């Protein structure tokens, strides 16, 4: 056929095909006329049907059947295709109603969907019952089949690079110029070997189109990255009417320079990655420089060495200039805390945050309050400015709450305070000391320390009691104090932690806290300050960058230092807002607390006397307890009702027994006992100074430093080390002993080489304690 086209030319070929097609159509027409049949009966006639039909593949023909109703009544007729030919017969309206004397025409379509001969019938049912035979022939052509599609690929590139698009134009012509064809086009790319295309396709796709006379398609596709460079051919195949036509075009695929691979990685990706990495490094350095410039707080922060969320850790706010929560191990407060800062810097708020968390963890709190500021714990926060800060810390206004507690007034610094009475989990007791002279503060401190020593509290590794001295700098001589109170605090700092008792000292300055007091305080919080001594200390100890950060610190943000955290380096914390009311109670409320507490204390004393006389006082004690709970909650009216009902009952019991109502006397500690306590503290100070002096001498002789534990405690002897180990948890202990070091053995070996060698084998705290206890309890003769 291709040779025929080349000889005669496309125009002559078209004429021949047209003539052939016209002849075929005429043949079909006359054949259809010849095969036309009819059925005639007295009741009806059926005309126009043919028992033999021919159709070309992909085409269809339409025929009509006329039915005439000769009956006097209307009839309903249904036409149904049957047999193999039935699926190629379509009847538009298969059910019709024909009135008397009326003729109706039914259209029937014969579809050329599949090549072959198909027999069947059209069944008439209903008012007319007939069976019209059908023989359907579907062929490619009526006559001799010829290729009727001409297809050519134009305008394509000879050279294509990997990753680029291959574009071309596909021209298709219908040579018969008859009804449109349904074409299936298949596009393939195959490897070309010496001018002939192989059968292995690396790319293939299909599409369906309809062709009338001619069609031009613009096609594009990207050369896949996995295609190897070389010669290829594009094949286009058109399938129609059981025939097919193909066209092909050759082209070459080349690899671009940047597509060359090094160690399997394209060069362009290597270069892009290097450029991107350089740009990111430059951007990061610029960003870091700008960030450092704009940062208010600069510190050596090691996130992995900060406390994490746990059963005994609490959230106290956020790490400054970040959204990361700042946690604190509440049991660290047993190793005592010192908070300092100028007025307005937020030292009280930061202290109260730690106290709130201590109460929530079940600790009892006793506050010696010189300004009644701490009485606000008994009311929930209602201050709009404070509540507005909640959202910044992920808190909700519904979390604001009051804390259980009471307010007392101390009129005499020697008044005995029953410490055990106030060690109630989750309860805060504020003792107002604003009416005491500054010189009496030393007496109060000595008195309080003695009461704790005398309370004989059980040992505890967890925080059980927090004792707060606000504005403790008043103990210093330059603020009007005698300085003797610090001797008692030094002694307390060494001893209290084994009972789970923590001291919480709040001051305007840190510099004046020296010696044993400072050495045994493990947590320091420095808020913004104007004290030159503190500023110099920070600069000399931590560097000018920490000083600048502290000077720029906003209210509520302070520098926290604890030897157990961040390698002992300080870092900045923005403390969260308070849950309770920051403002003090009104004078009227404070007066009500004092008045009703005095009445309860009097009745409690009198009920105890009745109990000693043999009276069953259970009901009285219960009512007294209920009155006390009402006072704690600030419900003074209900407390008054309880007390007014209980007072005559108690007094009546004494009258019935002919005894006067006893008067409660405030118990005072004797001055001689205070002097004894002062002498004890003085001897402890001399002992400590002597120990420091001995250590200093040994250091000069053998260069043996004192051992500072990770809890912040400095130990100077094996006894002090044992004491420090008693409150140390296993995790902290393991910071001293690792596969690379044993800090305990390194320290002890300088004092006792044999004991040091023994300690090297200890892997747990229990093993070390057993070795040191045995060494401590050896008789003097056996000691080396």
Interval 166-203: pLDDT, tens:
888 999 888 765 556 788 999 988 887 544 455 567 77
Cα 327–chain centre separation? 17
The b-or-e profile of 390-423 (16+ CB within 10 A means b, else e) is beebebeeeebebbbbbbbbbeebbbbbebeebb
**Location of structure tokens 């191990």:** 329
Q: Is residue 688's pLDDT more than 80?
A: no
Mean pLDDT for 450-456 is: 90
For residue 658, count other CB atoms closer than 10 A to its CB.
6
Q: What tokens were used for 480?
A: 């009007």
pLDDT given for residue 382 in this prediction: 93
Q: What tokens were used for 289?
A: 């420089």
Q: Is residue 652's pLDDT more than 80?
A: yes
At 329-364, the pLDDT tens digits run 999 999 999 998 888 888 899 999 999 999 999 999
77 and 127 in contact (C-beta within 8 Å)? yes
Contacts of 198 (CB under 8 A, 6+ apart): 190, 191, 192
pLDDT given for residue 509 in this prediction: 79
Query: How far is it, in rounded angstroms, from Cα 278 to Cα 775?
Result: 62
Share of the chain above pLDDT 70, in %: 86
Contacts of 244 (CB under 8 A, 6+ apart): 237, 238
587 and 434 in contact (C-beta within 8 Å)? no
Query: How far is it, in rounded angstroms, from Cα 527 to Cα 510?
Result: 11
Q: How confident is the model at residue 35 (pLDDT cuts 50, 70, 90)?
A: very low
Strand pairing class (214-222; 265-266): unpaired
Query: How far is it, in rounded angstroms, from Cα 706 to Cα 518?
Result: 15
Q: What tokens were used for 193?
A: 């070997």
Query: How far is it, in rounded angstroms, from Cα 7 to Cα 13?
Result: 10
Q: How confident is the model at residue 4 (pLDDT cuts 50, 70, 90)?
A: very low
For residue 775, count other CB atoms closer than 10 A to its CB.
19
Nearest to 313 by CA among 333, 299, 284, 340: 333
Give the range among 258-262, 725-729, 745-749 with minimum mean pLDDT: 258-262
Mean pLDDT for 696-701 is: 45
Give the right CATH number for 303-575 from 3.40.50.10800, 3.40.50.300, 3.40.50.12280, 1.10.3720.10.
Answer: 3.40.50.300
Strands (E), 616-764: 707-708, 714-715
* Residue 46 host element (H or E): strand 44-50
Query: How far is it, in rounded angstroms, from Cα 153 to Cα 151?
Result: 7
The conformation of residue 531, written as its DSSP 8-state character, comes to -
Burial class of 486 by CB neighbour count within 10 A (0 to 12, 13 to 18, 19+): buried
pLDDT given for residue 147 in this prediction: 59
Q: How confident is the model at residue 704 (pLDDT cuts 50, 70, 90)?
A: low
Helix axes 636-656, 618-632, angle to 10 degrees: 150
521 and 336 in contact (C-beta within 8 Å)? yes
Name the percent of the chain in helix, strand, coil, to the closest 5: 40, 30, 30
pLDDT given for residue 5 in this prediction: 34
For residue 655, count other CB atoms closer than 10 A to its CB.
11
**Location of structure tokens 């690379």:** 740
Q: Is residue 264's pLDDT more than 90?
A: no
Q: Is residue 515's pLDDT more than 90?
A: no
Average model confidence (pLDDT) across the chain: 82
- 78, 79, 82, 87: CA torsion to nearest 10: -120
pLDDT given for residue 141 in this prediction: 55
Query: How far is it, in rounded angstroms, from Cα 771 to Cα 775?
Result: 6
Q: Is residue 229's pLDDT more than 80?
A: yes
250 and 201 in contact (C-beta within 8 Å)? no
Query: How far is it, in rounded angstroms, from Cα 116 to Cα 54?
Result: 10
Cα 527–chain centre separation? 31
Mean pLDDT for 97-125 is: 88
Q: What tokens were used for 515?
A: 């010696």
Domains 35-139 and 149-255 share a fold: yes
pLDDT given for residue 198 in this prediction: 56
Nearest to 78 by CA among 51, 106, 119: 106
The conformation of residue 635, written as its DSSP 8-state character, comes to -
Q: Is residue 528's pLDDT more than 50?
A: yes
Query: How far is it, in rounded angstroms, from Cα 672 to Cα 678?
Result: 10
Mean pLDDT for 361-390 is: 93
Nearest to 350 by CA among 553, 66, 590: 553
pLDDT given for residue 80 in this prediction: 92
The b-or-e profile of 39-66 (16+ CB within 10 A means b, else e) is eeeeebebbebbeebbbbbbbebebebe
Nearest to 44 by CA among 98, 123, 92: 98
Q: Is residue 138's pLDDT more than 60?
A: yes
* Residue 69 host element (H or E): strand 60-69
pLDDT given for residue 92 in this prediction: 82
pLDDT given for residue 13 in this prediction: 40
Mean pLDDT for 472-489 is: 74
Q: Is residue 158's pLDDT more than 80?
A: yes
**Of 27 and 297, more confident:** 297
Helix axes 438-454, 671-702, angle to 10 degrees: 80
Q: Which residues pair with 737 in a beta bridge?
A: 742
pLDDT given for residue 699 in this prediction: 43
Q: Is residue 517's pLDDT more than 80?
A: no
Q: Is residue 781's pLDDT more than 70?
A: no
Nearest to 183 by CA among 193, 169, 191, 173: 173
The CATH architecture one would assign to domain 149-255 is Sandwich (2.60)
pLDDT given for residue 779 in this prediction: 57
Q: Is residue 495's pLDDT more than 70?
A: yes
Burial class of 13 by CB neighbour count within 10 A (0 to 12, 13 to 18, 19+): middle
pLDDT given for residue 774 in this prediction: 80
Query: How far is it, in rounded angstroms, from Cα 331 to Cα 604?
Result: 34
Give the range among 252-256, 257-261, 505-509, 711-715 with minimum mean pLDDT: 257-261
Q: Is residue 441's pLDDT more than 70?
A: yes
**Of 577 and 58, more confident:** 577
Cα 183–chain centre separation? 58
Question: Does the global pTM surpass 0.75?
Answer: no
Supply the CATH classification number for the domain 35-139: 2.60.40.10
329 and 312 in contact (C-beta within 8 Å)? yes
66 and 107 in contact (C-beta within 8 Å)? no
pLDDT given for residue 547 in this prediction: 84
At 674-686, the pLDDT tens digits run 888 888 877 877 7
pLDDT given for residue 363 in this prediction: 96
CA distances from 460 to 111, 469, 621, 768 (A): 99, 22, 31, 20
pLDDT given for residue 34 in this prediction: 42
Q: How confident is the model at residue 20 (pLDDT cuts 50, 70, 90)?
A: very low
Domain boundaries, the chain: 35-139, 149-255, 261-294, 303-575, 587-656, 705-782
Mean pLDDT for 261-275 is: 76
Mean pLDDT for 754-762 is: 83
Q: Is residue 29's pLDDT more than 50?
A: no
What count of residues does the chain have? 784
């Amino acid at each position: 056929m291709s040779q025929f086209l080349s000889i005669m030319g496309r125009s002559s070929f078209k004429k021949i095909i047209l003539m052939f097609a016209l002849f075929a159509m005429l043949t079909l027409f006359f054949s259809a006329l010849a095969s036309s049949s009819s059925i005639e009966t007295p009741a009806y006639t059926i005309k126009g049907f043919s028992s033999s039909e021919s159709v070309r593949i992909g085409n269809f023909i339409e025929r009509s059947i006329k039915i005439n109703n000769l009956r006097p009544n209307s009839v309903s007729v249904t036409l149904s295709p049957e047999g193999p030919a039935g699926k190629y017969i379509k009847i538009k309206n298969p059910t019709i109603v024909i009135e008397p004397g009326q003729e109706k025409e039914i259209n029937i379509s014969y579809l050329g969907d599949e090549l072959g001969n198909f027999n069947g019938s059209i069944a008439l049912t209903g008012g007319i019952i007939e069976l019209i035979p059908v023989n359907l022939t579907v062929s490619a052509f009526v006559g001799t089949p010829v290729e009727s599609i001409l297809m050519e690929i134009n305008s394509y590139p000879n050279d294509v690079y990997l990753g680029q698009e291959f574009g071309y134009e596909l021209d298709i012509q219908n040579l018969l110029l008859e009804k449109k064809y349904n074409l299936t086009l298949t596009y393939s790319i195959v490897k070309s070997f010496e001018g002939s295309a192989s059968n292995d396709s690396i790319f293939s796709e299909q599409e369906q189109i309809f062709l009338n006379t001619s069609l031009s398609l613009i096609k594009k596709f990207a050369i896949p990255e996995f295609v190897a460079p070389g010669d290829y051919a594009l094949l286009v195949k058109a399938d129609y009417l059981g025939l097919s036509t193909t066209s092909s075009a050759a082209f070459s695929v080349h690899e671009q320079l940047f597509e060359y691979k090094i160690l399997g990685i394209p060069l362009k990706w290597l270069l892009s990655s290097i450029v991107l990495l350089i740009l990111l490094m430059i951007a990061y350095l610029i960003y870091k420089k700008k960030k450092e410039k704009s940062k208010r707080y600069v510190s050596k922060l090691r996130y992995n060495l900060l406390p994490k969320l746990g059963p005994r850790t609490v959230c106290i706010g956020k790490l400054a200039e970040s959204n990361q929560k700042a946690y604190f191990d509440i049991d660290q407060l047993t190793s005592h805390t010192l908070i300092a800062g100028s007025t307005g810097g937020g030292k009280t708020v930061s202290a109260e945050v730690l106290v709130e968390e201590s109460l929530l963890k079940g600790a009892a709190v006793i506050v010696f309050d010189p300004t009644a500021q701490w009485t606000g714990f008994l009311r929930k926060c209602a201050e709009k400015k404070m509540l507005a800060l909640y959202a910044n810390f992920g808190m909700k206004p519904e979390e604001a709450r009051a804390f259980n507690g009471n307010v007392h007034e101390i009129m005499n610094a020697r008044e005995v305070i029953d410490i055990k009475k106030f060690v109630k989990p989750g309860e805060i007791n504020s003792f107002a000391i604003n009416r005491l002279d500054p010189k009496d503060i030393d007496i109060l401190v000595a008195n309080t320390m003695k009461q704790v020593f005398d309370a004989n509290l059980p040992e505890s590794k967890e925080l059980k009691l927090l004792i707060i001295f606000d504005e403790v700098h008043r103990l210093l001589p330059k603020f009007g104090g005698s300085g003797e109170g610090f001797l008692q605090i030094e002694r307390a700092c060494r001893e209290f932690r084994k009972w789970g008792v923590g001291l919480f000292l709040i001051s305007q300055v840190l510099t004046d806290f020296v010696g044993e007091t400072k050495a045994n305080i493990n947590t320091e919080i420095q808020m913004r300050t104007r004290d030159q001594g503190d500023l110099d200390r920070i600069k000399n100890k931590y560097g000018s960058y920490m000083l600048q950060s502290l000077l720029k610190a906003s209210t509520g943000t302070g520098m926290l230092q604890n030897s157990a955290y961040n390698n002992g380096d300080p870092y900045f914390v923005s403390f969260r807002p308070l849950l309770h009311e920051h403002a003090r109670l009104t004078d009227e409320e404070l007066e009500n607390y004092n008045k009703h507490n005095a009445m309860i204390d009097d009745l409690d004393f009198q009920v105890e006397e009745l109990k000693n006389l043999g009276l069953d006082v259970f009901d009285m004690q219960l009512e007294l307890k209920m009155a006390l709970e009402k006072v704690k909650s600030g419900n003074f009216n209900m407390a008054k009702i309880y007390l007014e009902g209980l007072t005559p009952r108690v007094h009546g019991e004494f009258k019935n027994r002919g005894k006067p109502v006893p008067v409660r006397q405030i118990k005072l500690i004797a001055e001689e006992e205070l002097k004894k306590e002062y002498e004890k503290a003085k001897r402890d100070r001399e002992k400590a100074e002597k120990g420091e002096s001995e250590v200093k001498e040994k250091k000069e002789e053998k260069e043996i430093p004192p051992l500072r534990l990770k809890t912040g405690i400095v130990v100077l002897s094996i006894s002090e080390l044992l004491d420090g180990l008693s409150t140390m948890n296993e995790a902290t202990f393991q910071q001293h002993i690792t596969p690379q070091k044993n800090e305990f053995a390194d320290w002890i070996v300088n004092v006792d080489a044999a004991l040091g060698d023994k300690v090297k084998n200890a892997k747990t705290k229990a093993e070390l304690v057993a070795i040191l206890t045995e060494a401590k309890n050896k008789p003097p003769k056996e000691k080396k």
